[in-house]
Structures are given as structure tokens and as C-alpha cells.
Amino acid sequence: MNEVDDAILEFFAEQGDDVVLPPTVVWYNLKEVEYALDKSRETVARRMRQLPKRGLLEKVDEDRAYYRLTEKGRSYLAGDIDPDKIKLENDE
């Protein structure tokens, strides 16, 4: 978990329950609207591809890479989950 992951998850949480967005929209808003992140579009897209592996985002459209925040993602943002305990699906 890093600052990009946190910015992505916080952005989803601010948009409300069940909002579904692609990486480009998230990147644009974080960089150009909120000025909260100075990273490339590809960095945001790459991190968004990793967050479902940690259970924090859900990929809802395999063909077009649309994502939404999960309950685990909300719990992480609320401080109910230790960031050190969040692992990839294949981690033991």
C-alpha cells in the first residue's frame, strides 16, 4: 500500500456507494481537478489493477476495466484494517 493506493481508495469513497469508474477518470480527477496526486495515468491504472488482488477494489467489467470500492476497502479507509495485513491473493 502506498500514497497512490490511498488516494485512489479515498477518491472512490468520496464519490459515494457503488460508483463504478475506469482508471482514466480516477487519474484525471486526482491530478487535474483535486490536485491530490502528481502521478502518471499509467501509474494509477497499474495500482488500480493491483487493488482487486488485495480485495480493496472490485473489477466489475473485465472488458473495459471498470472498478468500484469494496467493503474491505471502506474498512481499510476507516482504519479498521492494518495496512500491513493487506496482502495479495497469492501471498501467504
Q: What is the Cα Rg of the chain in Å?
A: 12
Query: What domains, with CATH codes, occur in the chain?
Result: 3-79 (1.10.10.10)
Read off the C-alpha cell for 85. Answer: 495485513
How many C-beta atoms lie closer than 10 Å to residue 73's C-beta?
Answer: 26
Per residue in 27-83, pLDDT (tens digit) is 999 998 877 788 999 999 999 999 999 999 999 987 889 999 999 999 999 999 988
pTM of the model: 0.88
| Angle at which helices 3-15 and 41-50 cross, to 10° | 80
How many C-beta atoms lie closer than 10 Å to residue 4's C-beta?
Answer: 19
